[in-house]
Each structure stands twice: as structure tokens, then as C-alpha cells.
Structure 1
Amino acid sequence: MELTWEIPLLIAAGFAAGFINTMAGGGSLITLSTLIFIGLPADIANGTNRIAIMFQTATAVGGFKSKGVTTFPYSIYFGITALVGAILGAQLATDIRGDLFDRILAIIMIMVVLIVVFKPKMATSEAIERLSGKHLAISIIVFFFIGIYGGFINVGIGFFMMLLLSRFNKLSLVKSNATKVTVAFIYTIAAVVVFALNDKIEYLIGIIMAVGNSLGAWFASRWSVKKGDGVIKVFLLIMVIAISIKLWFF
């Protein structure tokens, strides 16, 4: 595929998605829509998007680490089980679901909005983190299923990880974000391999978009640590509402 005017569009869409994904989630709606807009079939767009996500999450991990934010080794535990799930999910991802899937996802997004609005008290840096015993075991199991969804399509998965980590494990939103991008990086590696083996990736397009994703992720990861939980919560709420409307009506 010969690229001209598509290059700045891919980088701009990647930057927006990288920023949004690192701050909250849902940025893949932008990149998938852009990839399909420039002419990629939906299944190829789904696979190609994983190249950008892999670079984006790797950069975000580095950004959080540069600010001293990490949840090692728990993020690795969660990432490994999510990786196993992602292999299964990616194998199922021969194409992207249609209108019914979009509406189901929209309902899930609305549920997240209701939780954020009516139970707004999130974990703070002073909260007692729950990363051992039954809480660790349950989270490891849940991340396996999160990995299945992440391998299949990945759209909006950041919301679910943030919700689990902040409300169940009682991590601050900043730590939840750092954990989220680490887990996503680990399972995306598996998804890329599966899509590559099935010839579902346009590598040049994916790498160009990855430039934008990486820049957006680096900026968002460092900026979110500086601004703290408050700005992440506002951004999370805005993006959930916007994506719900988009999925239901468009």
C-alpha cells in the first residue's frame, strides 16, 4: 500500500490514541477507525493496530518508571495470565464484530460511567493496597479473561483494568495506570505473534502509527504522574461517556 497523505493522519491518530489509552482507555477506537478509513480491511486493521499498541505500552511503561511508579512484580503476574488469555482471544479474532458487538460494548461502557459517577470514591495513595492472598489470586484469574478480550479486539480494555485495579486491588489511579500499561504490553506481544502468523498485519502502517502512539503515551504517562489521580478520573469519565455515545449511535 503506497502512503502519502495517510502518514500525518496515522501519526496524529496514533498520538491521540497513545495519550488516551495511557490516561484511561478507548484510544483504539481512534486508531481502528483511522486504519479502516485509509482502506485496511477490519481484520487487518485489528492486527495492525497491535503494532502501535505494543510500542505505545512499552513507551508508557518507561515513562511511568522514569517517574518512579511501578507495581513490580504484581504487574508481571497479571501480565503473564493475561498473555495466555490473549493467545486465545487473538486466535478468535478473524474479524471485528458488527453492530451487536458495538451495542453490547456501549452498554458495558455506560455501566462503567454509572460506577464512576455514583461510587466516585477511588483508591488513593493512602489506601491499603490489596495485592496478596485471595485478592491477588482473584485478580490473576480475572486478568486471564481480560487477556482474552484484549487479544480479540482490545477496544476499551483500559477501563476494565482501571476499574479492577482501583476498586478491587485498591491501587491509586496512577499506580493502576502503570500496572495497566505493563499488563497490556505483555499480552500484546502474544497478540502480535498470533496476528503475524495469520498474516493479519500491515507492518509499515503499524510502525508509522506506532510513532504517534509512543509520543502520546510518553507524554501522558509522565503528565499523569505530575497531575495525580484527579485529572485521570475526569479524563476517564469523559472518555467513557464519549465512547458509549459513539458505539451506540454511530
Structure 2
Amino acid sequence: MIIYFSGTGNSEFVAKRTGQLIDDEVINLFDRIRGHDFSDLSSDRPWVVVAPTYSWRIPRIVEEWLRRTKLTGNKQIYFILTCGGSIGNAGKYLKILCEEKGMRYMGCQEIVMPENYIAMFGTPSKEEALRIIQDAEGIIEETAASIKNGAAFLEPKRGIVDKISSTVINPVFYPVFVHSKKFYALDSCISCGKCVTQCPLSNIRLEKGKPVWGDNCTHCMACICRCPKEAIEYGKKSKGKARYICPK
């Protein structure tokens, strides 16, 4: 069974493409995370978790869901992390998580996809995004073949920068940068409420027709990138930047 979390579509694309290649069921974790649903899941086939990389590790909301949810049946579990550059040493912490859950860790595959974190970086043009996705197709096919053959992923040796990124920077990055204080809506907001429904943590509400953000944010960029009028900004960081939704 393939289970995925995706804010702007990169991990969704990888999950669904992998599902096609290995002919397996694909489940979106959005409703389960949003609804605090930690009920058991069962699969006779190996588990495959697909998620974006947040500060060189799996998103904390996905990690929490995995910790609290019992995965029954098959004990093998693969991880596929999408990223704009590198997943750092994320595999180390996923292996620890698997040991705690009594699961057999089958490796963590890095798949580079178009950058979407506009709270810090710029996004590629549609043409460049499609080129990056095309380059990723081969890796997705190799990844799916490993899963289909029951082989563990071959993970490269991680260097000191990877280890520092996942071990030192990640714990600092979350409390310092991952918050919703800088989000605001422009006058071009049409009060459609899409940002409310797209937030996996129910962190957005409408007041007098305009979105208001609470304190529980994971920086998935779904609200700002999926706004049909591009009426949401993140301080000065997002101004002038193209919004990104996976074109595939």
C-alpha cells in the first residue's frame, strides 16, 4: 500500500506514478491527518510512504501520524522523499522510527522535484518544472522496480553536510521559521475559502471573508500556491514569485 502526503502535488505525482508501476493501492493521508484519524491500516504488500522533505527530514506531521497509527500486515516499509535539492540524512531518523514501530526499514529514496518552498526560494518556470519531472521519471521507475522485486533501496553514503542539516539545522529550523505569522491576504482575495479546505492542519479560518491563520502551521505551501487568485503572500519573501502546483 502506498500512502502519501503532498502540499503542492510533487509527492502526489510520485506516489500515483509509483502506484501505476507496481499496481498498488494509493491513499492520500490528507483527510486522516486533518481529521486526527489514527485508526489502524492493513496491507499484505509492503508499505510505501511518499512525502516531501521539510528541512532535510520527513514532515513532522507525517512522522507523528506514523508514530500514532498501527500499520498491520506486511512489516516491510519503504520511504520515498521528494525534495528540491537534498533529503540530507533523513533516512537515519526513519530507520529509528521503524525500529520503534517494529517495522523492517527498506530504505529511503531521494527524488528531486521542482522547488515549491516559496517562503524561502523561487519556483521554476513551467517548462523547467516539466524538465525536472522528466528527469525524475527514470528514478521513479528504478524505485518502483526495487519495490516490485522486494529489494531494499541502495542509499548513498551521507556526508557531514547531510548529517548537520538533518541533525542540527532541522530542530532549529522548525521553531524559528515554521510558523504562519507572515501569511496575509491581499485585497484581491475573493473569499472562496479554498485556503481553508486545503490546510491539512485546519489552521486557517475566514473572518469577514478573509483568511486568518492560527498558530499550527507546517509550511506545506498549499494555501499560498493553490489560491486561485494568488491573493496570499508570505511577508516579502513571496512577492513577485510564481506559485507552484505540480503540472503533472
TMscore range, shorter length: under 0.3
TM-score using structure 2 length: 0.26
Q: Which has the higher helix share?
A: 1
State the structure with bigger RCO (CA 8 A, min sep 6), 1 or 2: 1
TM-score using structure 1 length: 0.26
